[in-house]
Amino acid sequence: MIVERIKQGHAVSKGIGLGRAFVYKRYIPLKKISYIEDKDVESAFARYHEILQKAHQEIDDIRQSLEQKGDDKAKIFTAHLDILHDIALEEMIEQYIKQEHFSIAYAVHEAFDMFIEIIGQVEDELIRERVADLKDVKNRVLRIEEGLPETNLSRLSEPSIIIADDLYPSDTATLDRTFVEALITEIGGVTSHTAIIAKSYEIPAILGIEGVMKTIEHGTFVIADAIKGELIIHPDAKTTDEYTIKKKEYKAKQTLLKTYLPLKPITQDLIKVEVTLNIGSASDEELSFVPYVDGVGLFRSEFLYMENDHLPTEDEQYHVYAKALKAFGEKPVILRTLDIGGDKELSYLTLPKEDNPFLGCRAIRLCFEHPEILKTQLRAALRASVYGNLWLMFPMVGSIDDIEKIHHAVGEAKASLDHENIMYSQNVKVGVMIEIPSLILIADHVAKMVDFASIGTNDLCQYLTAVDRLNPLVSSYYQSYSPAMFRIIKMAIDAFNKEHKPISVCGELGGDPIAAPILLGLGMRKISMAKSSVARIKKIITSHQMTTFSQVADHILKLTKEKDVIDYVQSVLKLED
């Protein structure tokens, strides 16, 4: 075999992985009108019941696996078993096969589609949310009918390099990390959902390799070098041995780096920096970092929605938020309200089809269109606030009008709780996520109207540079280290510092070894990041003086190119890969 090297794509989560390619293709059924002859009816019906038994076994295996891990998602698959054996569905499919002579696949399509249409029109939101479950079970039955194997990422049997077009939250929610060596996708960049998950789980990842699913066959031995951003197909023995050693050396370096975790993030000239955590679900793994950070700088509440098959109820959200607040105690927990739209969708909530969803009805705009969703979340968060130090943050805010609407929504949620005599903390702070450049241009006014702000650098860069951050064709134009980025960020920092209001960064730049020192030098004193970045950023903070960071920041503001910024910071601070 000829060794092939692919050097395109973005190394979004560093590390090295070696294993067999697991080419993950999401099953999409094709509906065809087809019939069977009268003599084949009984055998078709018997085969349908064999298919049901296989589907039952698959679902139950997943359910038991999740239960053993103590994962609440096991309940989803219990519901799937109920749907699979629903009497009304079975009777309808039997009628289609025996009386109408529909083929098994056509009968399954027709029966499930009828139920999906009926339930989709029900007024009760909780019942409508069952549509996603029906579609999932339907697709499983049809895949088995076609004789196709299950490509479930929850049950890998050997060290694997996952190859996919993209990975959805439903894919990563059940990901078996025991055997995942690396993630490779055709779509996605440094700020995509897959990149965030890879960093959180500390899985090597290279994203945005166009055509990779056609290039690599399932089962091919592959090496993913997510340090250089290189994919090696059919490596020879020498290359494999070389990368096995590199992998061990990299892991040893990461283990050494983690000795910085317990250190207080104080510079050598004794300036304290708040290092906070980005979390998504208040999992035990995330909460294990409580001793090492100063709070939560970004609680991505949308993960609760994206990893579920229905809109989380008020009580479901309350328990998750309360768990996080109890764990962090007096340390602030910044909860971002639902941030759906753009690259994040919900299978059970119909969003408007837009030509450019990143500029459309997303985040707080979507919540304004669905006030009942926002009110449910605010009530849940406020109820949980009695257990800790809650800060509410609203995304995609673009104007003073938005801020006034936000205060009104929070006021309504509080009034509804008052009416029911339900307790909540009187010290909950209300802030905004600064992502839209227009908000920075009036940051002096914004700082007077909110308690705090956090800069979402992922979308800020996208809007500032006019680049779709998920489009690999224009990825070179997405320049997060551009002097323009740091100039506009400085405007926001100055405005909030002047009002003595807290301001932080919760986008990817907060945990970036090149950007973090610049942000601190610009006057930022609070940065938030994935847990995989905490040790490295603490090392940088404790190894330098704040005066050095200030000098670096002053200099890069005079530069004109992103490359010059990178080169200068690396030369002054001697940063390692």
Q: In this predicted model, what pLDDT tens digit does every residue of 347-388 receive, in sequence order?
A: 777 776 777 777 888 899 999 999 999 999 999 999 999 999
Where in the chain are all domains bearing CATH 3.20.20.60? 271-573
| Closest of 290, 293, 316 to residue 303, by C-alpha | 316
Q: Rounded to an integer, what distance in angstroms lies between the CA atom of residue 461 and that of residue 482?
A: 9
Angle at Cα 173 formed by Cα 193 and Cα 536, nearest 5°?
A: 55
- 25 pLDDT tier (thresholds 50, 70, 90): confident
Euclidean distance between CA atoms 451 and 476, whole angstroms: 36
Tens-digit pLDDT profile for residues 253-271: 999 999 999 999 999 999 9
The residues, any chain, with a CB within 8 Å of residue 229's CB and separated by 6 or more, are 7, 9, 10, 11, 206
Share of the chain above pLDDT 70, in %: 96
Q: What local confidence, expressed as pLDDT, does residue 136 receive?
A: 85
Q: For residue 447, what pLDDT is reported?
A: 98
Asked whether the predicted pLDDT for residue 577 surpasses 70, the reply is no
Quick one: tokens of 450? 């909110």
Share of the chain above pLDDT 90, in %: 72
- Residue-wise pLDDT for 215-249, tens only, equals 999 999 999 999 999 999 999 999 999 999 999 99
Q: What is the pLDDT of residue 154?
A: 76
Q: Look at 243 and 28; give whichever has higher pLDDT.
A: 243
The four Cα atoms 316, 321, 324, 329 give a dihedral, to 10 degrees, of: -140
Q: How much is the pLDDT for 176?
A: 78
pLDDT for the residue numbered 92: 95
- Which entry of 10, 367, 461, 506 is annotated as an active-site residue? 506
At 498, the pLDDT band (50, 70, 90 cuts) reads very high
The tokens describing 512, both together, are 């970036």
R_g of the chain, CA atoms, integer Å: 25
According to DSSP, residue 341 is labeled B
| pLDDT, position 126 | 62
User: What pLDDT does 128 receive?
Assistant: 66
Average pLDDT over residues 482-497: 98
Q: Which of 193, 310, 367, 461 is catalytic?
A: 193
Is residue 273 within 8 A of residue 91, CB to CB? The reply is no
User: Degrees (nearest 5) of the Cα angle 16, 458, 531?
Assistant: 50
Which whole-number Å values give the CA distances from 360 to 95, 203, 303, 476, in the listed order? 45, 32, 20, 24
342 and 364 in contact (C-beta within 8 Å)?
no
Q: Is 506 a catalytic residue?
A: yes
pLDDT at site 413: 98
Q: Which CATH architecture has domain 4-26+152-256?
A: 3-Layer(bba) Sandwich (3.50)
- CATH 3.50.30.10 residue window(s) in the chain: 4-26+152-256
Domain 38-146 grouped into CATH 1.10.274.10: yes
Per-residue confidence band for 415, with pLDDT thresholds at 50, 70 and 90: very high
Q: How far is CA 237 from CA 218, 223, 393, 478, 549, in A?
A: 20, 12, 52, 38, 45
User: Above 90 in pLDDT, residue 283?
Assistant: no
**Identity (one letter) of the amino acid at 424?**
Y
- What mean pLDDT is predicted for residues 60-86? 83
Task: Find the range with the poorest average confidence among 5-14, 109-118, 234-243, 479-488.
Answer: 5-14
Q: Is the pLDDT of residue 395 over 80?
A: yes
Query: Which helix H or strand E contains 390, and what residues bound it?
Result: strand 389-394
- pTM score: 0.77
170 has pLDDT over 70: no
Residues whose CB falls within 8 Å of the CB of residue 235, separated by 6 or more in sequence, listed in order: 3, 221, 222, 223, 243
Cα distances from 309 to residues 70, 127, 164, 232, 361, in angstroms, run: 18, 11, 22, 37, 21
DSSP structural state of residue 529: E
Q: Is the pLDDT of residue 547 over 90?
A: yes
The whole-number average pLDDT for the span 269-287 is 93
Q: How confident is the model at residue 182, as a pLDDT? A: 97
Cβ atoms within 10 Å, residue 411: 12
Among 6-10, 115-119, 427-431, 491-495, which is the least confidently predicted range? Answer: 6-10
**Edge-to-edge strand ranges of the sheet holding 160-164:** 4-6, 230-233, 221-225, 16-24, 160-164, 180-185, 205-207, 10-13
Q: Regarding the domain with residue range 271-573, which homologous superfamily does it belong to in the CATH classification? A: Phosphoenolpyruvate-binding domains (3.20.20.60)
- The mean pLDDT value of the chain amounts to 91
Both tokens assigned to 180: 């995942």
Check pLDDT > 80 for residue 130: no
Confidence of residue 342 (pLDDT cuts 50, 70, 90): low
Q: Cα–Cα distances in Å, from 391 out to 79, 324, 410?
A: 35, 12, 12
Q: Are 547 and 269 in contact (CB under 8 A)?
A: yes
Quote the tokens at residue 569.
């910071």
- pLDDT confidence of 251, banded at 50, 70, 90? very high
Q: Which are the contacts of 355, defined by CB distance < 8 A and separation ≥ 6?
A: none
Looking at residue 469, the DSSP 8-state letter turns out to be: T
Q: What is the pLDDT of residues 447-472, one digit of tens each?
A: 999 999 999 999 999 999 998 877 77
Mean local confidence (pLDDT), 155-176: 82
CA–CA separation, 151 and 62 (whole Å):
12
> Under a CB-based contact definition with an 8 Å cutoff, are residues 547 and 293 in contact?
no
151 has a pLDDT exceeding 90: no
Q: So what's the pLDDT on residue 534? A: 96
User: Residues, the chain, total?
Assistant: 577
pLDDT, position 471: 77
Enter the tokens of residue 371.
Answer: 């006030």
Q: What is the mean pLDDT of residues 276-282?
A: 92
- Write down the pLDDT at residue 67: 81
